[in-house]
Amino acid sequence: MIRVEQIRKHYDDQIVLQEIDFQVEHGLCLGIIGPNGSGKSTLLHLISGVEPITSGDIFIRNEPIRQYTRKELSQQLAVLQQEGLPPLGYTVREVLEMGRFPFQNWMGKDRMDASELIEGIAEQLHLSTLLDRKLDELSGGQRQRVALGKVMVQQPEILLLDEPTTYLDIRYQLQFMDYVRKWQRECGLTIIAVLHDLNLAAQYCDQLLVLHEGKQVAIGTPNDIIEQERVTQVFGTEPIIIKHPVNGAPQILLQPQEQGIE
């Protein structure tokens, strides 16, 4: 579905990413992890087509991404940022309708009647009673659900997530990721997600890609990737790693390191 081949990204003389090489099969979720400044969001911007590649290539369905127009790309691929929607004065229904923009003609007419689709997604995300409410009247968790609904209405085959749970509390983090996984399983969605929380990444991603200082350190299953030596090498901390008692995913327990404080 997605193939990244020897990607490099420079800003003038600054090398941000180099020799990034991986692929994501249809219907899988790849989590991108790494410390701040490792190039995670930049890589997502390259895959989304927002930023140009310095060298290398990205393929979607075996076609170079540069061959797609912005509209063609947005009919296949959707992006959800950290804070999916600013608290603007639009209603929930209006925001969900915006998800159909890639399918509208020059007169603003959709090729299909999307009202049933929008109502169904609103029901799935428990937004039906909020459809006429304005965004600035909603909580952060509710707004992020609306943002998810907007990209669901877009009906993409590929979803890019850029730290979508950063501003959510524990309950809404799990709720959001459960919604995404349910959508993935029902529709065969292919996902690439930048995640800060390694425990969430290990539970919800099929594979993990580790970046450090703009370089690809490793790629593999969560069990392959989340191990003590690698976490220490990349994140500079010495964790305790255990198996989740229910699903067996590797989970990290942090240890205070007061002796290192000066």
Q: Does residue 108 form part of some domain? A: yes
The contacts of residue 26 (CB under 8 Å, 6+ apart) are 1, 188, 190
49 neighbors 59 (Cβ within 8 angstroms):
no
According to DSSP H, which parts of the chain are helical? Answer: 40-48, 70-74, 92-98, 115-124, 140-153, 170-187, 198-204, 222-225, 228-235
Q: Does residue 247 form part of some domain? A: no
Residue 109, domain CATH? 3.40.50.300
> Bigger pLDDT: 147 or 84?
147
Q: Does residue 242 form part of some domain? A: no
162 neighbors 181 (Cβ within 8 angstroms):
no
The contacts of residue 223 (CB under 8 Å, 6+ apart) are 249, 250
> Dihedral, CA atoms, 193, 195, 215, 192, nearest 10 degrees?
-10
Q: Does residue 174 form part of some domain? A: yes
| Spatial distance between the Cα atoms of 179 and 188, rounded to a whole number of angstroms | 14
Tokens describing residue 191: 């996902």
pLDDT at 259 over 90: no
1 neighbors 160 (Cβ within 8 angstroms):
no
Burial of 166 (0-12, 13-18, 19+ CB in 10 A): middle
The parent domain of residue 212 ranges over 2-224
Q: Does residue 262 form part of some domain? A: no
> Which position has the token pair 């594979």?
207
pLDDT at 262 over 60: no
- The domain tally of the chain equals 1
Q: How many CB atoms lie within 10 A of CB 160?
A: 25
Q: Does residue 150 form part of some domain? A: yes
Tokens describing residue 131: 């459809």
Q: Does residue 254 form part of some domain? A: no
pLDDT value at residue 226: 96
Q: What is the pLDDT of residues 186-241, one digit of tens each?
A: 999 999 999 999 999 999 999 999 999 999 999 999 999 999 999 999 999 889 99
Q: What is the pLDDT of residues 64-112, one digit of tens each?
A: 998 998 888 988 999 998 766 766 789 999 999 999 988 877 666 777 7
The contacts of residue 41 (CB under 8 Å, 6+ apart) are 162, 163, 194
Q: Does residue 195 form part of some domain? A: yes
Q: How many CB atoms lie within 10 A of CB 30?
A: 20
Query: What Rg, from alpha-carbon coordinates, does the chain have?
Result: 19
Q: What is the pLDDT of residues 6-36, one digit of tens each?
A: 999 999 889 999 999 999 999 999 999 999 9
| Spatial distance between the Cα atoms of 176 and 262, rounded to a whole number of angstroms | 39
